[in-house]
Amino acid sequence: MMTTGAVDLEKKKKVVFVTVGTTCFDALVKSVDSRHVRNELKKRGYTNLLIQMGRGSYIPRKSTMQSCGEDESLVVDYFTFSPSIADYMRSASLIISHAGSGSIFETLRLRKPLIVVVNEDLMDNHQSELAEELADRKHLFCASPQTLGQTIETMDLDSLLPFQSGDGLPVAKLINKFLGFPAE
Amino acid sequence: MEGFHSQDSVTILIGFVVSIVVIRLAYVLYWSGRPLRTLSQRVSTLIVLGSGGHTAEMLSIVNVLEKDRFVPRFYIAAGTDNMSLQKARVLEESLIQKEEIGNKKDIEKIACFEQIYRSREVGQSYLTSIYTTLVAILHALWLMLKFRPEVIICNGPGTCIPICLVAFIFKVVGIRWSSIFYIESIARVKRLSLSGLLLYKLHLADQFYVQWPQLQRKYQRAHYVGCLM
């Protein structure tokens, strides 16, 4: 049975969801797990931190409701994979993601605030191009594992612009035109 | 003197064959990328699925193509990719549900799903890659002889290169003229992928599409189509 206090906490729950997809991105998980980043998240009013750590080997420190009673730190939990992280994304107030295009666009479609963290250890890091372009267009924030805390501290969520989804229609039009099919 | 004559005729024969190939090559390169004039009702279509995000982008195109024009549809995915063909099947089955393509028996005549050997896995050594690429090319040859598609739609990664190479050879040799459409990934904003670069520089694709204006400015034969996602 929930006490009144616990019910209030449930209502005011603001979840930060961290995802690395199917990759191994220990640098991000470590950064999110650091005292500095946890503090910054707490200062911005987030209550829960859920980390999807994929193939990573670094294990974050769990922190449950009971253990954070008096000092009021973040509630932290983690898991490796899930068949569909859509539900976790939907119930999150902030998403911190690796720079995979699938994760990025899934988050933008859900209209959630997004911080994309580029994995600098990857060879041929073309992923940063997409993250930087979308950050330039103010659809998300971009950070490195080192600058994540600072980004959380200074980010202005109101400055984010919604992303208009595209579709394959321009491509279909050009293909039809090239093949000599009549236009719709 | 007899030896001299037969040497001579062999040289002439080789010269003749080489000239024909060069002329045919020039013909193919000239006509590649020029809109087709012949009008057909239906075009058989080969769709090359890359992994993950690439598949999502490709299916967003297939979704809006006229289903009774681009038929039959042959889907090809790399052998190590488990999800892509499944997603394509789901799309085709949902078309039956929407009654866009008749009943379940017809699906075999309309859609086909095949796996192809991958030329190179991420991180694979370049030495062994030479062998696996050759295997991939042979497999592509087999599939292309089987399907001989009139249209090929692909978006990288490397899975599409052996297919496009074989398609180009088919054009030169006259087995089948496939119109090749390549769409560079949405993750490529300023630089092309290796597959894209190859297809663009070698003029292997008839039409080359990019999703960001920066790439269109840099590669002027490309068409800007906006974001697919």
pLDDT number for residue B121: 75
In one letter, which amino acid is B109? Answer: K
Task: Please write the tens of the pLDDT for every residue from B146-177.
Answer: 999 999 999 977 889 999 999 999 999 999 99
pLDDT of residue B213 exceeding 60, the answer is yes
Residue A21 structure tokens: 């997809």
What are the chain A neighbours of B151 within 8 Å (beta carbons)?
175, 179
Whether the CB-CB separation of B114 and B84 falls below 8 Å is answered with: no
Comparing A89-93, A168-172, B37-41, B200-204, the range with the smallest average pLDDT is B37-41
pLDDT of residue B36 exceeding 80, the answer is yes
What number is the average pLDDT over the span A13-38?
A: 94
The span from the CA of B201 to the CA of B187, in Å, is 20
Asked if A129 and B188 come within 8 Å (Cβ–Cβ), the reply is yes
Q: What percent of chain B has pLDDT over 70?
A: 93
Residue A140 structure tokens: 């998300």
E strand segments, chain B: 43-49, 70-78, 111-116, 151-154, 179-183, 207-210, 223-224
Q: Is B55 left (phi over 0), alpha (psi -120 to 50) or beta?
A: alpha
pLDDT of residue A71 exceeding 80, the answer is no
Global ipTM: 0.89
pLDDT number for residue A32: 96
E strand segments, chain A: 15-19, 48-52, 75-79, 94-98, 114-117, 141-143
The residue of A19, A108, A126, A171 whose CB has the most chain B CBs within 10 angstroms, and thus the best one to mutate to test that interface, is: A171
Asked if B69 and A181 come within 8 Å (Cβ–Cβ), the reply is yes
* Predicted TM-score (pTM) of this structure: 0.87
In one letter, which amino acid is A40? Answer: E
What are the chain A neighbours of B124 within 8 Å (beta carbons)?
none
The owner of tokens 């699938």 is A102
Q: Is B161's Cβ below 8 Å from some Cβ in A?
A: no
With 0-12 CB in 10 A as exposed, 13-18 as middle and 19+ as buried, what is B111? buried
Asked if A174 and B223 come within 8 Å (Cβ–Cβ), the reply is yes
Residue B72 structure tokens: 């039959």
What number is the average pLDDT over the span A106-125?
A: 90
What number is the average pLDDT over the span B8-34?
A: 91
Asked if B187 and A130 come within 8 Å (Cβ–Cβ), the reply is yes
Query: Helix (H, G, I), strand (E, B), or coil: what is residue A151?
Result: helix
Q: What percent of chain A has pLDDT over 90?
A: 71
pLDDT of residue A73 exceeding 90, the answer is no
Whether the CB-CB separation of B33 and B203 falls below 8 Å is answered with: yes
Q: Give the residue from A60, A97, A95, A100 showing the smallest Cα distance to A77.
A: A60
Whether the CB-CB separation of B114 and B143 falls below 8 Å is answered with: yes
What are the chain B neighbours of A167 within 8 Å (beta carbons)?
60, 63-64, 228
Residue of A nearest to B67 (CA): A172
pLDDT number for residue A161: 97
The span from the CA of A40 to the CA of A115, in Å, is 14
| Greatest mean pLDDT among A62-76, A91-105, B84-98, B101-115 | A91-105
Task: Please write the tens of the pLDDT for every residue from A161-180.
Answer: 999 999 999 999 999 999 98
